[in-house]
Structure 1
Amino acid sequence: MWYAIDFGTSNSLLSFVEDGKEPRIVNLEGDSPILRSLIFTPQENLFYFGNQAIEKYQELGGDGRFFRSLKKFLPEPSFKGTEVFGKRMKIEDLIATFLRELKKRADNKTGNDVKNVVLGRPALYSLDPEKDKLAENRMRLAAKIAGFEKVEFCPEPIAAGLDEEGVGSELILICDFGGGTSDFTLLRSGKSFTKENVQGLSGVFVAGDAIDGRIMRNFVSEHFGKNVKYKAPMGNNLLSFPTKLLKKLCNPAHIVFLKERENWEFLKELEQWSVGGEDQKYFGQLFCLVEEQLGYPVYSEIEKSKIELGDKEASNYRFDHPGVQIDMVIKKDEFEAAVRPELGEIFESLDKVFENSGVKYSAVDLVRITGGTGQMPLVQDRLKELFGADKIQMNKVFQSVVSGLGKYAQNLPN
């Protein structure tokens, strides 16, 4: 018996594989197979997950630690962990906490203590081979800590293509646009699947979260002090908001670390050194954001604006909370100009699939899109330009990867 787990930056799913039976996707939260990849801990050794993490976070006014997008930290050697109620938790421990909960819920549904797991992984955690290896090793260790004994990996874009077995000899491009990564696989379908089916593979750690971060940087961050000026003691130079802290503010996963002691103390000093008339207001909103851990709801509203800008000429971004009031208009043309760097990186990665394989774009028979970011009109329009609208097929947005991982697990020995 195996579990196949699609541990995503934003959402996670699990499939149960029994000998001689078709893989079965397990409902992890009520009647839904999707468990959001979120953890909230209000006190030591007490954790909430998914939608319940959001509910408890709101109920307790953000008093605790809230974690999202943990997958993004896997290839970062500098990220050793974070302090949680006086205890240092490594990235492996945090992810193991989530995987353990997945296993517990699935075991309760299947009535089995499953020890084997296939984990999906991006085509590339990082372009740096050492960082890519580090990420996979961390993920393997997290699975072991969570209670799994045998751990296998399958690239997520390959998993998304396994549903194409048996439909004939077509050249298919699988585009998996997630929250943290954009992955591409060019494969030849057939009656069975082997490594020879894969014609090309590429990926980049730029996707939905990066686009949300760009909206924060270019539009919303001015309300949290992006444009403040300050003078250090005994200095005459006028300085801007520190790039290091701005990067954390503009990253949905890293924003929680503004509350760590070193960053928090520096922010307090900046407030004292600021020279602008409205700087105190913006620092007040930033402190409220950090102290009350409003990162998740702030970015949730950003995501809503991103979706609205797909079919509207403007979006009214509103955030109303005691201590933080934002009401601003984001125009579609300005948004599209702002996210060009991120979309450029994504489609440069796609280009590499064809450069490395020697295959021409025109040779592709079918383009399958999966993942939430793949629903963006900007992404779909670019794919239509490259391949033609008649070749584009919208796949099951969230379930195709975990379904393919289940099929992959079917062929593994117990």
Structure 2
Amino acid sequence: MWYAIDFGTSNSLLSFVEKGESSKLINLENNAPVLRSIIFTPSKGEYFFGAEAIDEYQDLGGEGRFFRSLKKFLPEPSFKGTEVFGKRMKIEELIAVFLRELKTRADKETGHQVTNVVLGRPALYSLDLEKDQLAEDRMRSAAELAGFKRIEFCAEPIAAGLSGGKDIQEKLILVCDFGGGTSDFTLLKVGKDQFSKDDVQGLSGVFVAGDAIDGRVMRNFVSTHFGKDIQYKTPIGNNTLGFPRRLLGKLSNPAHISFLKERDTWEFLKEIEQWTMQGEDQRYISQLFCLVEEDLGYPVYAKIEKSKIELGKNEQSVYQFSHPGIKIEMPISKVQFEESVEGELSDIFKAMEKVFSQSGLEYSNVDQVRITGGTGQMPLIQDYLIKIFGRDKIVMSEAFQSVALGLGKYAEGLD
């Protein structure tokens, strides 16, 4: 028996494989297979997950530690861990808390204590091979801490390709997996009874996806209301300084924003508050303090995601966020949004081009393009692929389930 886990930047799913039977998705929350990859801990040893974590976090006014997009930290050697109620927790320990919860819920659902697991992984955690290996090693350690004994890995875009079922004729498919943290591309031959690594013609990925696009909206638009354009002077200098780029980087990253609350950063923010020169700037800094102190990163970015979806359908969206101490109402046009994310989209599709340069194949050789992942629902991304390959070759896979089901199919062939 196997579990196949798609641990995603934004969402996670699990399928169960029993010998001689097809894999099936396990319901993890509210009779549905999707569990948001979120942890909230309001006190030592107490954890909430997914939608319940969001509810508890909001009910308690942000008192505690709120973690999202943990997957993004896996290849970062500099991220050694963070302090959680007096205890320093490594990234693998934090992820183990989440994987253990997945296992506990699945064991209850299946009635078995399953210790074999196939873990999905991006085509590349990082372009740096040492960092890529570090990320996989950390995931393996997290799975061991969560109670798994035999641990196998399968690239998520390969899994997405396997989930499409058997084809009578051999086809070359391009699997495009656009998630929260990574955009992955795989050229895959399908139509054989059994998957082989030789079926993979090309594999590439980049750490740019939904979170990076949301972060761009924060950086280019919303961050103005949290002090991006302020000016200040230190008591011992005459130079006028702007908002520190290092802090803007954290503010503009959904995974990093919660770390603005760490001691050194918090003390530096207090100094900036004292040194800020103009009244309007002081209001923006006050809003930033409210954001950090009350740990409002998640709801602020949830509103950004809402605007991003609206801009896929409408010519304008009004970003609105209202909270005691914060008031934002900011129109963003479709043209402004599309211009702002050109760099991110360019990085994403350069990764796709690498798949073809690796394989020596041309766009015209592709029989089918399968799009999966939540970010793949963006009209901007779909339109780009339609322009290259033609509408007839595009297949929209189920946004979240295809990888977990494909990982299950991979597990079916392991024993």
- Residue 165 of structure 1 deviates from its aligned partner by 5.1
**Cα-to-partner distance string for 1:267-297 (whole Å, 9 max, x where unaligned):** 0000111112311101110000001000000
Measure, in 1, the Cα distance between the counterparts of 2:18 and 2:151.
Answer: 16
Q: State the match for 1:386 in structure 2.
A: 388
Conserved 8 A contact 1:164-1:190? no
Give the gaps of 5 or more residues in structure 1: none
- Residue 188 of structure 1 deviates from its aligned partner by 0.9
Measure, in 1, the Cα distance between the counterparts of 2:280 and 2:291.
Answer: 17
**Cα-to-partner distance string for 1:39-86 (whole Å, 9 max, x where unaligned):** 000000000000000000011111000000000000000000000111
**Cα-to-partner distance string for 1:126-149 (whole Å, 9 max, x where unaligned):** 000000000000000000000001
**Any residues of structure 2 matched to 1:113-262 within 5 Å, and which?**
113-164=113-164, 166-167=166-167, 168-191=169-192, 192-262=194-264
When structure 1 is superposed on structure 2, of 268-277 and 157-166 the one drifting more is 157-166
Q: State the match for 1:358 in structure 2.
A: 360
Measure, in 1, the Cα distance between the counterparts of 2:279 and 2:51.
Answer: 40
Measure, in 1, the Cα distance between the counterparts of 2:122 and 2:26.
Answer: 22
Conserved 8 A contact 2:70-2:255? yes
Instruction: Label 1:164 to 1:24 Cα distance change in 2 as closer, same or farther (>3 A).
Output: closer
Measure, in 1, the Cα distance between the counterparts of 2:85 and 2:66.
Answer: 12
Measure, in 2, the Cα distance between the counterparts of 1:348 and 1:216.
Answer: 24
3-state SS of 1:379 partner: helix
**Cα-to-partner distance string for 1:158-177 (whole Å, 9 max, x where unaligned):** 00001345312111000000
3-state SS of 1:278 partner: helix
Give the gaps of 5 or more residues in structure 2: none
Measure, in 1, the Cα distance between the counterparts of 2:155 and 2:85.
Answer: 35
Residue of 288, 292, 303 corresponding to 1:286:
288
Residue of 393, 398, 401 corresponding to 1:399:
401
Q: State the match for 1:368 in structure 2.
A: 370
**Cα-to-partner distance string for 1:4-62 (whole Å, 9 max, x where unaligned):** 00000000000001111111100000211000000000000000000000000011111
Q: State the match for 1:307 in structure 2.
A: 309
- Residue 412 of structure 1 deviates from its aligned partner by 1.2
Conserved 8 A contact 1:125-1:132? yes
Q: State the match for 1:18 in structure 2.
A: 18
Conserved 8 A contact 2:202-2:358? yes
- Residue 232 of structure 1 deviates from its aligned partner by 1.5
Q: State the match for 1:64 in structure 2.
A: 64
Conserved 8 A contact 2:163-2:403? no
Q: State the match for 1:316 in structure 2.
A: 318
Q: State the match for 1:411 in structure 2.
A: 413
RMSD: 0.7
Identical columns (%): 69
Which residue type is aligned with residue 228 of structure 1? Answer: I
- Residue 389 of structure 1 deviates from its aligned partner by 1.0
- Residue 190 of structure 1 deviates from its aligned partner by 1.6
TM-score between both structures, scaled by the size of structure 2: 0.99
3-state SS of 1:31 partner: coil
Conserved 8 A contact 1:214-1:338? yes
Measure, in 2, the Cα distance between the counterparts of 1:247 and 1:30.
Answer: 35
Conserved 8 A contact 1:15-1:403? yes
- Residue 233 of structure 1 deviates from its aligned partner by 1.9
Poorly superposed stretches of 4+, deviation over 3 Å: none
**Cα-to-partner distance string for 1:353-384 (whole Å, 9 max, x where unaligned):** 00111100011110000000000000001001
Which residue type is aligned with residue 65 of structure 2? Answer: R
Measure, in 1, the Cα distance between the counterparts of 2:271 and 2:295.
Answer: 20
